[in-house]
Amino acid sequence: MAEQLKDFSLLHSDEMILNMGPQHPSTHGVLRLKIHTDGEIVSRIEPIIGYLHRCFEKHCEFLTYEQIVPFTDRTDYLAAMNMNDAYALAVEKLLEIEIPERVQYIRVIMAELQRIASHLVAVGTFGLDVGGITPFTWTIRDRERILDLFEYVCGARLLYNYIWVGGVSHDLPEKFIRRTLEFLDYFEPQIEEYNQILTYNKIFIERTADVGTLTPEVAINYGCTGPVLRGSGVKWDLRKTEPYAVYDKFDFDIAVGDGRMGTVGDTWDRYFVRIIEMKESVKILRQALAQIPDGDVHAAVPKKVRIKEGSVYSRYESARGEVGFYIIAGGKDKPMRVKMRSPAFCNLSVLSEIAEGWMISDVIAILGSLDIVLGEIDR
Amino acid sequence: MEFNQIIELFEIRCPGCVTVVEGQQALTVQAEKWPEVAKILSEDPDLTFDSLMCLTGYDKGTGDALGVAYNFHSMSKLHKLEIRIEVPRESAEIPSVANIWRAADWHEREVYDLFGITFTGHPDLKRILLPDDWEGYPLRKDYETPDYYHGMPIPKDKTGWE
Amino acid sequence: MNSVIDSMMKIFGSLGTGNSALGLVLAVVIAGLVVFTIMAVMAIVAVYFERKVSAFMQDRIGPMEVGIFGFKGGKQFWGGIGQTLADTVKLLVKEDILPKEADKKLMIMAPFIIFIASFLTFIGVPLSDGLVVSDFNIGVFYIMAAGSIGVIGIILAGWSSNNKWSLYGALRSAAQIISYEIPIGLSLMLVVIVVGSLNFGDIVAWQADHRWFFIHSPFAFIAFIIYVIAGVAETNRTPFDIPEAESELVAGWMTEYSGFRWSIFFMSEYANVLIISIIASIIFLGGWLSPLAIFGVHVSWLEGPLWGLFWIFSKAVFFVFVMMWFRWTFPRLRVDQLMYFCWKVLIPFALANLIFISVWELIF
């Protein structure tokens, strides 16, 4: 033993490989991060995904276009309405049908409510990631109210199957608009409360400002979209730059990170963009609820979707970023290929670029600010 | 920049590199010409396709070609382009563009994983969604589900969802 | 001063056993059992208290509604009491898991070392005038010394679990506890300099004669603040719960523990919280003196051992509440920020404090 100790290579400090996940409180699902650490410092991160792969794209090839809608729910389960909407939009582009205006408004209302709900989870779990528990319970409490609204509309609380190709499954219930307005009146002051307990907390700023800075060039190169890209100061929002549905009729701003607490594109910016976006969504909702016209929501729903050969790539701004559906139609009632370009997939791929060199705690914070949903990454 | 102008630009910069897909706003590129075209796409000041929105592998099931569709977008010029590359099923090799658009890194791995198209020059080409030791490429139309995976029977009862 | 052990010895002596060794053993065993019971009960009460505080702050439903025998309670005091009972039963009957690759001897030993540390500390802490198991003339010093044994148990727990998260948690914890003992010690030194005694009874007696220590001088007030902050860090609670950091390290050094062993950790954590709070109230807030003493008013029927117990616990519970308030409000610091805060903020301030209070004592 004494002989061995003379050999100093035994005292050589080595990198330790940590397997964070697939079961870990802060990987937001079943993500596995293979982290090479030198003490607390992280020198290399290798995200390993696929633990939640459910063959969405393979299933799509065996399902008719209408049957795929409930499957899109299960991809991004925190923003299922957005996914329904994105898929319906892509198929409608292939079908080249006109959608009644009331349906468009309903979809906008649902998408924005869903965006708020999704951002509430993002903000709350980000609070958890940096150690604050109260923001999480508060945001979840308010999200419940949105889920109540969804339940009132379509009976489901998480996976809705509400937005169909060519329309929506049910018209809005009678008191929906009043109840939504009540919710908005309740919700707007709550955002200030989140700001007080989390956003402007000194410790929170210390933890997130200047940490994990993502420059715009890198963000674009990696295909980051949504709040992650906007947090880097890029004014890019498909609702504004390539308006679909009736988004061109509303007055709202694109939330961008401005480096208020540190550098542009740091973790705090990515977080704060979501807070501003919730306010903007409230703005859109108020306008949409005031303007919504009457009409039949089933007018354009096709009896049977059968699409002639062709392909389309359609983009949609979900809560997490750009959802793309690349659909190749083979002339049958089933698609030949459905590819879902998932925003969190690209957003996660940038993690190793921005989180290497920071500490383990920072990796958690940076991962939280990317707001990933594994169901959507693994599909 | 309009689609027609992009074609004209390619006729000047790289004659014969691209052909137009009939009836669609997409270009077909030969796999061997792809690095050259990719360079033009990313570096030409009139094109500056800085964002690779989507990378889709596909198998039309007819003939023996596998294909990859690249959807590009320019954040500064605000124009879009779709590039398609088709390669034979037996020797499916396409040069990687992961060093130009980092977004292609994981997307190429995904296409390799599900279609078995090899991207030459990719920094770390391995399976991404499926387990590393999975056999076959599930999204190919001629894929047949294996009976066992590590001794576990794979259920083939399709009545539940088909 | 007289301690519980001394009084018991006297009683046994008067009973005429005549055997002082037997009397001593009996007295020690009885006192030990009483302290153990107090710790266990305090842990349960503290968990209940923590649940209620968190429920009020976070709009939690469970701690408000889970009743027992039909009592629901809602926002009333007994609302959610069933959850505490269920939790206790769950912890006691839960499967106790020892990982295959763990160092089993050390892993079994570790919780007891931690528990012994807080147990030993409790022995020196007076709960009222004369109500102390053993009245050391070096009380402050003894508590500092006994309290720091716990870190050995933490390191053992982290190492023996053979889990990387546990190891991280243990290392962080060791660094943190050892670092934050310095500002605690330095801020307690102030009162020692002023009073000239390490005995808790003398310290409180001095405060009865003069004034409560936290308003003794500006430096004493700063020391009080430093003590509270460092005390929160010493007990590994938010915003300094870096060793446990459930979002980073799963559960830190407790990752591999379950069931009863884990509940021992839990018990000693709450015991430590209580000890830190009681010491804060003794040293800085006049211990068992009634709050009227702060105005120089002495009401005789508000004093005495039982009232002293009430006052000291009121003050301590206030501190416990403040700690819980911190926990449900703040996010967590990063490990380097924690160290920075200790070594570059708290310790320099505490050292300067020590010099200034000496000068202050010379002048006044």
Q: What is the pLDDT of residues A118-143, one digit of tens each?
A: 999 999 999 888 888 888 989 998 99
Given pLDDT bands bounded at 50, 70 and 90, which one contains residue C73?
low
A in contact with C (at least 3 C-beta pairs within 8 A): yes
| Cβ separation A349–B138 shorter than 8 A | no
| Cβ separation C335–A197 shorter than 8 A | no
Q: Which of B54, B61, B102 minimises the CB distance to A221? A: B102
User: What pLDDT is attached to residue B2?
Assistant: 78
CB contacts under 8 A, A 194-223 vs C, are 197-198, 201, 203-204, 206-207
Average pLDDT over residues A209-229: 88
Q: Are C36 and C119 in contact (CB under 8 A)?
A: yes
Q: Give contacts of C256 with chain A, Cβ < 8 Å.
A: none
User: What pLDDT is attached to residue A120?
Assistant: 92
Whether the predicted pLDDT of C109 surpasses 60:
yes
Whether the predicted pLDDT of C3 surpasses 50:
yes
CB contacts under 8 A, C 47-106 vs A, are 54, 57-60
Average pLDDT over residues B17-30: 79
Structure tokens that stand for A224 in this block: 């980051």
| Cβ separation A361–C329 shorter than 8 A | no
Question: Reduced to 3 states, what is the DSSP secondary structure of residue B28?
Answer: strand
| Cβ separation B52–A330 shorter than 8 A | no
Average pLDDT taken over every residue of chain A: 86
Q: C238 CB near a chain A CB, below 8 Å?
A: yes
Q: Which of B23, B103, B130 minimises the CB distance to A53? A: B130
CA B4 – CA B22 distance, rounded (Å): 13
User: What pLDDT is attached to residue A6?
Assistant: 53
CB contacts under 8 A, A 335-364 vs B, are 336-337, 339, 341, 345-346, 349-350, 353
A149 Ramachandran zone, left/alpha/beta (phi>0; psi -120 to 50): alpha
SS3 per residue for B77-142: CCCEEEEEEEEECCCCEEECCCCCCCHHHHHHHHHHHHHCCEEECCCCCCCCCCCCCCCCCCCCCC
Q: Give contacts of A133 with chain C, Cβ < 8 Å.
A: 54, 58, 327-328
Which candidate in B24, B52, B53, B124 is best for mutational testing of the A interface (most A CBs within 10 A)? B53
User: Considering only CA atoms, which of A313, A293, A312 is closest in space to residue A108?
Assistant: A293
Q: State the smallest CA–CA distance between residue C61 and chain A in angstroms.
A: 10
Q: Are C140 and C304 in contact (CB under 8 A)?
A: no
| A309-330 pLDDT, tens digit each | 788 888 888 888 889 899 888 8
Q: Which of B78, B82, B128 minimises the CB distance to A49? A: B128
Residue in the structure block whose two tokens are 């396709």: B49
Neighboring chains of C (3 or more beta-carbon pairs < 8 A): A
User: What pLDDT is attached to residue B162?
Assistant: 47
Given pLDDT bands bounded at 50, 70 and 90, which one contains residue C118?
confident
Q: State the smallest CA–CA distance between residue A198 and chain B in angstroms.
A: 32
- % pLDDT > 90, chain A: 9
User: Considering only CA atoms, which of A351, A197, A211 is closest in space to residue A268?
Assistant: A211
Given pLDDT bands bounded at 50, 70 and 90, which one contains residue C67?
low
Q: C326 CB near a chain A CB, below 8 Å?
A: no
Domain boundaries along the sequence of chain A:
8-378
Torsion of CA B83, B89, B93, B96, to 10 degrees: 40
Q: Give contacts of C238 with chain A, Cβ < 8 Å.
A: 131
User: What pLDDT is attached to residue A13?
Assistant: 67
Per-residue CA distances from C337 to A207, C182, C187 (Å):
9, 17, 21
Beta strands A321-329 and A335-341: pairing type?
antiparallel
User: What pLDDT is attached to residue A1?
Assistant: 40
B in contact with C (at least 3 C-beta pairs within 8 A): no
User: What pLDDT is attached to residue B84?
Assistant: 86
User: What pLDDT is attached to residue B129?
Assistant: 87
Q: Give contacts of A346 with chain B, Cβ < 8 Å.
A: 103, 106
CA B125 – CA B98 distance, rounded (Å): 10
How many CB pairs below 8 A link A and C? Answer: 76
Q: State the smallest CA–CA distance between residue A58 and chain B in angstroms.
A: 6
| Cβ separation B130–A322 shorter than 8 A | no
Question: Reduced to 3 states, what is the DSSP secondary structure of residue A108?
Answer: helix
Residue A303's CB: how many other CB atoms inside 10 A? 6
User: What pLDDT is attached to residue A119?
Assistant: 92
- % pLDDT > 90, chain C: 1
Sign of CA dihedral C145, C146, C149, C150: negative
Structure tokens that stand for B138 in this block: 């599930």
| Cβ separation A360–C248 shorter than 8 A | yes
Lowest mean pLDDT among A83-92, C127-136, C157-166: C127-136
Nearest-CA residue of chain B relative to A223? B103
CA A320 – CA A114 distance, rounded (Å): 11
Whether the predicted pLDDT of A195 surpasses 60:
yes
Given pLDDT bands bounded at 50, 70 and 90, which one contains residue C17?
low
Given pLDDT bands bounded at 50, 70 and 90, which one contains residue C1?
very low
Average pLDDT over residues A289-309: 81
Q: Give contacts of A364 with chain C, Cβ < 8 Å.
A: 247-248
Average pLDDT taken over every residue of chain B: 82
Whether the predicted pLDDT of A12 surpasses 70:
no
Whether the predicted pLDDT of C347 surpasses 80:
yes
Given pLDDT bands bounded at 50, 70 and 90, which one contains residue C236?
confident
User: Considering only CA atoms, which of C180, C176, C205 is closest in space to residue C191?
Assistant: C205
Q: Which of C327, C328, C330 minimises the CB distance to A203? A: C330
CB contacts under 8 A, A 98-157 vs C, are 127-134, 137-138, 141
Does domain A8-378 sit in CATH 3.40.630.10? no
Whether the predicted pLDDT of A4 surpasses 70:
no
Q: State the smallest CA–CA distance between residue B10 and chain A in angstroms.
A: 23
Q: Are A136 and A107 in contact (CB under 8 A)?
A: no
Q: Are C170 and C158 in contact (CB under 8 A)?
A: yes
Q: Give contacts of C241 with chain A, Cβ < 8 Å.
A: 131
Phi, psi of C216 (to 5 degrees): -65, -45
CA B18 – CA B25 distance, rounded (Å): 12
Residue B19's CB: how many other CB atoms inside 10 A? 14
Average pLDDT over residues C218-240: 86
Q: Which of C59, C329, C334 minimises the CB distance to A361? A: C334
| C19-65 pLDDT, tens digit each | 667 777 777 788 788 888 888 888 888 888 888 888 888 887 777 77
Q: Give contacts of A361 with chain C, Cβ < 8 Å.
A: 242, 245, 248, 332, 334-335
| Cβ separation A25–C247 shorter than 8 A | yes
Strand partners, B60: none
H or E stretch at B56: strand B51-59
CA C21 – CA C25 distance, rounded (Å): 6
Whether the predicted pLDDT of A305 surpasses 50:
yes
Q: Give contacts of B127 with chain A, Cβ < 8 Å.
A: 50
| Cβ separation B75–A236 shorter than 8 A | yes
Residue in the structure block whose two tokens are 């903000």: A123
Given pLDDT bands bounded at 50, 70 and 90, which one contains residue A147?
very high
CB contacts under 8 A, A 55-114 vs B, are 55, 57-59, 61-63
Q: Tell how far CA C259 is from the center of its chain.
A: 22
Neighboring chains of B (3 or more beta-carbon pairs < 8 A): A
Q: Give contacts of A132 with chain C, Cβ < 8 Å.
A: 329-332
| C164-175 pLDDT, tens digit each | 888 888 888 888
Beta strands B51-59 and A310-318: pairing type?
unpaired
| B75-131 pLDDT, tens digit each | 888 888 888 888 888 888 888 888 888 888 888 888 898 888 888 888 888 888 888
Q: What's the first-to-final CA gap in chain C, in angstroms?
A: 29
Average pLDDT over residues B55-67: 81
Average pLDDT over residues A159-174: 86
Query: Long-range contacts for A115-118 (Cβ within 8 Å, ≥24 apart)?
Result: A115/A79, A115/A82, A115/A277, A115/A278, A115/A281, A115/A318, A115/A319, A116/A146, A116/A187, A116/A278, A116/A281, A116/A282, A117/A78, A117/A79, A117/A143, A117/A146, A117/A147, A118/A78, A118/A79, A118/A82, A118/A319, A118/A320
Q: Give me the half-sphere count of Cα atoms (radius 13 Å) on the Cβ side of residue C238.
A: 23
User: What pLDDT is attached to residue A2?
Assistant: 46
Q: Give contacts of C59 with chain A, Cβ < 8 Å.
A: 137-138, 141
CA C267 – CA A93 distance, rounded (Å): 63
